[in-house]
Amino acid sequence: MAMYDLIIRNGTIVTEASIVQGDIAIKEGKIKEVTVGIKLEATAIREINAEGKHILPGLIDTHVHFNEPGRTEWEGIHTGSRSLAAGGVTTYFDMPLNSTPPTINKENLELKRVASEEKSIVNYRFWGGLVPENIQDIKELHEKGVIGFKAFMSPSGIADFNHVDDSTIFKGMTEIASIGSLLAVHAESTVICDLLAEKKQSQNKTSAKDFVESRPIISEIEAVRRIISYAEVTGCKLHIVHVSSRKVVEEINEAKQRGVDITVETCPHYLSLTIKDLEEQGGLAKCCPPLRDAQEVEDLWTAVASGEIDVIASDHSPAPLSMKEVTNEDYFKAWGGISGAQSSLNVMLTEGHFKRFLPLEKIVELMATNPAKLFGLYPQKGTILVESDADLAIIDLNESFVLEVEDLYYRHKHSPYVGKTFKGKVITTVVNGNIIFENGNITNVEKIEASTIS
């Protein structure tokens, strides 16, 4: 009889393609057997009875800001990776900015890699940055293993990560295309946003509504149209991040139909929070692009359901509470970034599966399979197959809970999701065959050998 490290029995196994009852056997960090409808005749060092629970591929969060090295007082890999584990995420891609120094050359990349090897309890990869001063570093960063490149078409808010002008981004895209990589873009128009903000502030109009109006949907559309035109000339593969409106998605889909190699990401906060939340919660719900109205949320869900969205990622961008405070009703001054990485799956289950009947297979596709395929990690990641990595999330769809401050693993215990009721709870998270989160607790971290993905 075969002997394994871990067997998960009697679970409902969810992939992008199916939902079946079965057992999963794991050895040396890999899935070695998957049985459907019959009992796995084997033993293991540890067994989990997952009866009544669903087993998902470990989620891949393609968009987090852990701010290390240099700004660990904002978050850090230690706390950030634990928050992901508590949310069923087994792999993340860390953004190049908010770290000091930013990941714009091989030396800075190595600093981030060393910190991650020491502190992360889940798997990781890194984005490289595209900024005006580093086009000559693009090829070397690619060779050193960055998952892709990130550029801002409007100011990033970080002094040492400059946004790109049109000439820089065109040259950068040409270089990125030549090495077969991908460019992720924060697409908002600098001209539109800056001039509208200047006008609002000069008139002492600084409310939540004023802030949102200073970054209108048309600013995203303008930037997306421009970057698409550059992609059509350079042949550079594009990924548009944190889209806040289906109107923007429609521009991207038109480009797809013309043959442009482009994908689109949105975030749980654009699918669950509105301007009302910004008004009620202040800086905790401030982000860029900003939250939109309730109709935009519903339209974005329509885009999700109809297959117009490729990836759901958190864009976890935390900061100390003091930086999130709105004083004198001036929403322009608070730091813009949502702390939400731990709650991404909870939002998608509650708002998507239970409220809008989004199939579980679709959630897996958006949060695990598509990210793995888009970035060349499938079928090593993003699915449940023999010889795939044993990265799994076991969830109980029958369990509801109210998110409390003490539940958060973030360095700073705040989130716009605190106090909200969620249905569907992460019970166990497995990374490389190791149980790292179980029944509300991080476990056995001394045994974890999370790593970059070979």
What span, in angstroms and rounded, lies between the C-alpha atoms of 403 and 424?
A: 12
HEC profile of the chain: CEEEEEEEEEEEEECCCCEEEEEEEEECCEEEEEEECCCCCEEEEEEEECCCCEEEECEEEEEECCCCCCCCCCCCHHHHHHHHHHCCEEEEEECCCCCCCCCCCHHHHHHHHHHHHHHCCCEEEEEEECCCCCHHHHHHHHHCCCCEEEEECCCCCCCCCCCCCHHHHHHHHHHHHHCCCEEEEECCCHHHHHHHHHHHHHCCCCCHHHHHHCCCHHHHHHHHHHHHHHHHHHCCEEEECCCCCHHHHHHHHHHHHCCCCEEEEECHHHHCCCHHHHHHHHHHHCCCCCCCCHHHHHHHHHHHHCCCCCEECCCECCCCHHHHCCCCCCCCCCCCCECCHHHHHHHHHHHHHHHHCCCHHHHHHHHHHHHHHHCCCCCCCCCCCCCCECCEEEEEEEEEEECCHHHCCCCCCCCCCCCCEEEEEEEEEEECCEEEEECCEECCHHHCCCCCCC
Which residues lie closer than 8 Å to 344 by C-beta, 6 or more apart? 59, 61, 87, 89, 268, 312, 313, 314, 367
> Does a structural domain hold residue 407?
no
- Quick: pLDDT tens for 121-149: 999 999 999 999 999 999 999 999 999 99
Same domain, 439 and 347: no
Which residue shows structure tokens 């519903």? Answer: 298
Same domain, 78 and 150: yes
> Does a structural domain hold residue 307?
yes
pLDDT of 376 > 70? The answer is yes
- Quick: pLDDT tens for 40-52: 999 999 999 999 9
pLDDT of 451 > 60? The answer is no
Same domain, 369 and 439: no
Same domain, 30 and 114: no
> Does a structural domain hold residue 413?
no
Is the model more confident about 421 or about 157? 421
pLDDT score recorded for residue 447: 45
Among residues of the chain, what percentage have pLDDT more than 70?
A: 98
Helix 106-119 to helix 77-86 angle (10° resolution) is 60
Checking 165-169 for CB contacts under 8 A at 24+ apart, the result is 165/132, 166/226, 166/230, 168/130, 168/131, 168/132, 168/135, 169/130, 169/227, 169/230
* CATH number of domain containing 13: 2.30.40.10
Same domain, 63 and 43: no
In the predicted model, what is the mean pLDDT of residues 117-123? 96
Same domain, 47 and 195: no
Residue 384 in tokens = 């449940």
Same domain, 15 and 134: no
If we measure between CA atoms, which residue out of 237, 248, 239, 238 comes closest to residue 270? 248
pLDDT of 452 > 60? The answer is no
Range of the domain at 35: 2-55+389-398+422-447
Domain boundary among 315, 339, 374: 374
pLDDT score recorded for residue 159: 86
Which residues lie closer than 8 Å to 423 by C-beta, 6 or more apart? 349, 350, 354, 397, 399, 400
The pLDDT mean for the chain works out to 96
pLDDT score recorded for residue 454: 37
The answer to whether 146 touches 128, Cβ cutoff 8 Å, is yes
In the predicted model, what is the mean pLDDT of residues 223-252? 98
pLDDT score recorded for residue 188: 97
pLDDT score recorded for residue 444: 64
pLDDT score recorded for residue 445: 61
pTM for the full model?
0.96
What span, in angstroms and rounded, lies between the C-alpha atoms of 210 and 305?
A: 31
pLDDT score recorded for residue 446: 55
Beta bridge partners of 338: 316
> Does a structural domain hold residue 403?
no
Same domain, 124 and 221: yes
The answer to whether 239 touches 256, Cβ cutoff 8 Å, is no
What span, in angstroms and rounded, lies between the C-alpha atoms of 389 and 381?
A: 6
Same domain, 432 and 338: no
* CATH number of domain containing 246: 3.20.20.140
Same domain, 335 and 430: no
> Does a structural domain hold residue 411?
no
If we measure between CA atoms, which residue out of 243, 216, 415, 360 comes closest to residue 312? 243
Domain boundary among 313, 340, 374: 374
Same domain, 111 and 16: no
> Does a structural domain hold residue 453?
no
The answer to whether 90 touches 431, Cβ cutoff 8 Å, is yes
Same domain, 79 and 6: no
| Phi-psi map region of 211: left, alpha, beta (phi>0 left; psi -120 to 50 alpha) | alpha
- Quick: pLDDT tens for 344-356: 999 999 999 999 9
What span, in angstroms and rounded, lies between the C-alpha atoms of 23 and 12?
A: 9
pLDDT of 453 > 50? The answer is no
> Does a structural domain hold residue 166?
yes
The answer to whether 60 touches 92, Cβ cutoff 8 Å, is yes
Domain count, the chain: 2
pLDDT score recorded for residue 238: 98
- Quick: pLDDT tens for 3-57: 999 999 999 999 999 999 999 999 999 999 999 989 999 999 999 999 999 999 9
In the predicted model, what is the mean pLDDT of residues 284-294? 98
> Does a structural domain hold residue 370?
yes
The answer to whether 194 touches 152, Cβ cutoff 8 Å, is no
